[in-house]
Chain A
């Protein structure tokens, strides 16, 4: 079984400052990794995903994440945030060889961008 830990439940950040959201996973098998974003009163939408290839993954809205297999991490970064980036961000993992179709989500990180 796998698990996902998002180390920060809330991250306040000033507009135009950089932000990093930390995600660590625990799994005995190879995994696929995802970041989803949830804007207020909306469902989740995919920000980016890592399936294979380059460990640096670029997503929508200027976000990127880096897969580090040795540290079992998949941290999300943005060099300069906007007010509109205020949202909750979820890291998720799935087992490459699992028969089912299950994503395991972390507890989420709330990002509050201040002017």
Chain B
């Protein structure tokens, strides 16, 4: 089915472990984004990508790594998870970029770091 999908939807891990959240979109959108959602903070941009092999930091990039070898995939890796990274993570894509265009969001990945 067309759309944007995230996996896993739920993940529990321990401090210090590496975790990768996957994001896949079928629209061939150029732009992809990772946000985290925390109570009282709304959504904060972690990283974004304007095209394959082009990524840039957002507001809260520390502790995260991204890659984009293919247009349709934009994985987010927590190299050594910390409790402060417990959050709901949303991937989004856009044909024209977040500045003027519509972002299409996945259903989110809820990560708990113990």
Query: In the bound complex, do residue B43 and residue A51 qualify as a contact, i.e. CB atoms below 8 Å apart?
Result: no
Report the Cα distance A46→B31, complex, angstroms.
16
Interface of B is mostly: strand
User: 1/0 per residue B82-114: CB within 8 Å of A?
Assistant: 000000001010100111101111111000000
Q: Tell me, in angstroms, the Cα distance from A79 to B44 when the chains sit together.
A: 31
Can you spell out 13 A-B residue pairs with CB atoms less than 8 angstroms apart?
A41-B107, A43-B92, A43-B104, A94-B100, A98-B99, A100-B56, A101-B48, A101-B98, A102-B58, A102-B98, A103-B103, A107-B40, A108-B42
Residues of A within 8 A of B (CB): 4, 6, 9, 32, 36, 41-46, 49, 51, 90, 94-96, 98, 100-108
Which B residues lie at the A interface, using CB under 8 A? 4, 31, 33, 35, 40-45, 48, 50, 56, 58-59, 90, 92, 94, 97-100, 102-108
